[in-house]
Amino acid sequence: MVSRVIPVDRFDLVIFGGTGDLARRKILPGLYRRFVAGQIPEGSRIIGAARTDMPTADFRAHVEEAIVEFVASAKRSSELVGTFLDTIEYVAIDAKGDAGWEELAKLIRADVVQAFYFSVGPSLFGHLAEKLHRYSIASDDARIVVEKPFGRDLKTAQELNATLAAHFSESQIYRIDHYLGKETVQNLMAVRFANILFEPLWNARHVDHVQITVAETVGVGGRGTYYDRSGAMRDMVQNHLMQLLCLIAMEAPYRFDPDAVRDEKLKVIRALLPVAPDDIVRGQYRGQARKNGPDDASFLEDVEDPSSKTESFVALKVEIANWRWKGTPFYLRTGKRLRGRESEIAIVFKEVPHSIFGEEEGWRENVLSIRLQPNEGMTLSVMIKEPGPGGMRLTEVPLDMSFAEALGEEGADIPDAYERLIMDVIRGNQTLFMRGDEVEAAWAWTDPIIADWDARGDKPKTYDSGSSGPEDALMLLHREGRRWREIHE
Binding segment for ligand NAP among 20-28, 182-190, 287-295, 441-449 (CB under 6 A)?
A: 20-28
Binding segment for ligand NAP among 49-57, 73-81, 335-343, 399-407 (CB under 6 A)?
A: 49-57
Q: Taking CB under 6 A as the rule, which mask of x and - marks residues 96-135 in contact with ligand NAP?
A: x----------------------xxxx-x-----------
Report which DSSP code applies to 3.
-
Binder of ligand NAP out of 51, 192, 267, 461 (CB under 6 A): 51
Binder of ligand NAP out of 13, 85, 88, 95 (CB under 6 A): 95
Least distance between ligand NAP and beta carbon 279 (Å): 28
Identify whether 240 is a catalytic site residue.
Answer: yes
45-50 and 11-16 strand pairing: parallel
Least distance between ligand NAP and beta carbon 62 (Å): 10
Name the residue nearer to ligand NAP (CB basis): 124 or 165: 124
Among 256, 382, 238, which residue's Cα sits nearest to residue 311?
238
Least distance between ligand NAP and beta carbon 336 (Å): 14
State the CB neighbour count (10 A cutoff) for residue 406. Answer: 12
Is residue 17 part of the contact set for ligand NAP (CB under 6 A)?
yes
As a whole number of angstroms, the distance between CA 185 and CA 243 comes to: 10
Number of amino acids touching ligand NAP (CB under 6 A): 23
Is residue 148 part of the contact set for ligand NAP (CB under 6 A)?
yes
Catalytic site residue from 178, 240, 354, 478: 240
3-state secondary structure of 9: coil
As a whole number of angstroms, the distance between CA 249 and CA 184 comes to: 16
Binder of ligand NAP out of 10, 37, 41, 52 (CB under 6 A): 52
Determine the distance from the C-alpha atom of residue 185 to the mean position of all C-alpha atoms in its chain, rounded to a whole number: 9
- The CA–CA distances, whole Å, from 489 to 134, 337, 342, 398 equal 52, 11, 9, 20
Least distance between ligand NAP and beta carbon 338 (Å): 19
In contact, 183 and 189? CB cutoff 8 Å: no
Binder of ligand NAP out of 10, 20, 396, 401 (CB under 6 A): 20
Length of the chain: 489
Q: Apex CA 222: angle with CA 17 and CA 48, to 5°?
A: 10
* Residues pairing with 114 in the sheet: 12
Name the residue nearer to ligand NAP (CB basis): 115 or 378: 115
Binder of ligand NAP out of 41, 83, 94, 204 (CB under 6 A): 94
Least distance between ligand NAP and beta carbon 63 (Å): 13
As a whole number of angstroms, the distance between CA 311 and CA 325 comes to: 29
Among 376, 384, 417, which residue's Cα sits nearest to residue 400?
376
143-146 and 113-118 strand pairing: parallel
As a whole number of angstroms, the distance between CA 171 and CA 52 comes to: 32
3-state secondary structure of 332: strand
Binding segment for ligand NAP among 21-29, 255-263, 361-369, 371-379 (CB under 6 A)?
A: 21-29
As a whole number of angstroms, the distance between CA 155 and CA 143 comes to: 24
Least distance between ligand NAP and beta carbon 117 (Å): 9
As a whole number of angstroms, the distance between CA 85 and CA 48 comes to: 12
Least distance between ligand NAP and beta carbon 417 (Å): 11
Binding segment for ligand NAP among 31-39, 61-69, 142-150, 356-364 (CB under 6 A)?
A: 142-150
Least distance between ligand NAP and beta carbon 121 (Å): 5
Q: Taking CB under 6 A as the rule, which mask of x and - marks residues 318-357 in contact with ligand NAP?
A: ----------------------------------------
As a whole number of angstroms, the distance between CA 156 and CA 150 comes to: 8
Judge residue 481's burial from the number of C-beta atoms within 10 Å of its C-beta, 0-12 exposed, 13-18 middle, 19 or more buried. exposed
Is residue 19 part of the contact set for ligand NAP (CB under 6 A)?
yes
Binder of ligand NAP out of 13, 36, 50, 220 (CB under 6 A): 50
As a whole number of angstroms, the distance between CA 51 and CA 93 comes to: 5
Phi, psi of 14 (to 5 degrees): -100, 125
Least distance between ligand NAP and beta carbon 164 (Å): 14
Among 116, 146, 153, 452, which residue's Cα sits nearest to residue 309?
452
3-state secondary structure of 43: coil
- Which residue in the shown chain puts its C-beta closest to ligand NAP? 20
Binding segment for ligand NAP among 56-64, 147-155, 347-355, 456-464 (CB under 6 A)?
A: 147-155
Binder of ligand NAP out of 13, 28, 93, 281 (CB under 6 A): 93
Binding segment for ligand NAP among 141-149, 270-278, 299-307, 337-345 (CB under 6 A)?
A: 141-149
**Which residues bind to ligand NAP, rule: CB under 6 A?**
16-23, 50-52, 93-96, 119-122, 124, 147-149
| Residues involved in catalysis | 240
